[in-house]
Amino acid sequence: MLVDTGASVDIIDEKTWQQLSLPGGLKPAQINLMPYGKTEKLQVLGQLSATLECNKLIKDSTVYVVSGSFRCVLGYTSSHALGIVNLNAVSSMPESLTAEKIIHKFPELFQGISKLKDVSVKLHIDESVQPIAQPHRRVPFHLWEKVEQKLKDLENDDIIEKIDDPTPWVSPIITPPKPNSPTEIRLCVDMRGPNKAILRERHITPTI
């Protein structure tokens, strides 16, 4: 059998099942098996109770029979129980150190706004895209005070800064209510215009 630590069950194919010629036949299997990277389910013909043995270690397992002819798969649970694979997980954090204790021990790390400091980020701009100065969107009268307060809070937290000079790009703000707090607003900027001028950097994510 092919040892597959990513498989959650043990599987044999239809051809192997016929070669075994075991008495009693198969029991109905109420399970859906999906192969990795596929969208179609495997055709499960049934299941049987089997005793697996390797290196004098024994494990009782429910083995599923799948239509077709391919490699039989030994899943992680059985592979681990039979000593074929070992999971060596080492944790450097004491079990007594809980999240509450970490917050209490390092309170300065859990206060205020987290920001990436002393780092200059360069946005690559497509110079062929003309800057767009979008018109201001009217803010409902009953939200004026909330918007003003939100702008002051963002400025005090050094997240935004006030600009008095002309700028070629102007993007309007929108003020949707917070889902969990309808009385509060979420101050957002409609960046669909500027995003057309920002060149996307592509990085291939390595396989783990």
Structure confidence by residue, pLDDT tens digits, 82-123: 999 887 766 666 667 788 888 999 998 888 787 777 888 888
**What's the rounded Cα separation, in Å, for the pair 31 and 64?**
9
Predicted local confidence at residue 91, as pLDDT: 63
- Domains of the chain plus CATH, in order, are 2-81 (2.40.70.10), 113-195 (3.10.10.10)
pLDDT tens for the chain, 208 residues long, are 899 988 999 999 999 998 888 887 888 988 888 888 888 888 999 999 989 999 889 999 999 999 988 889 999 999 999 999 887 766 666 667 788 888 999 998 888 787 777 888 888 999 999 999 999 899 999 999 999 999 999 999 888 888 888 889 999 999 888 888 888 888 999 999 999 999 988 888 888 8
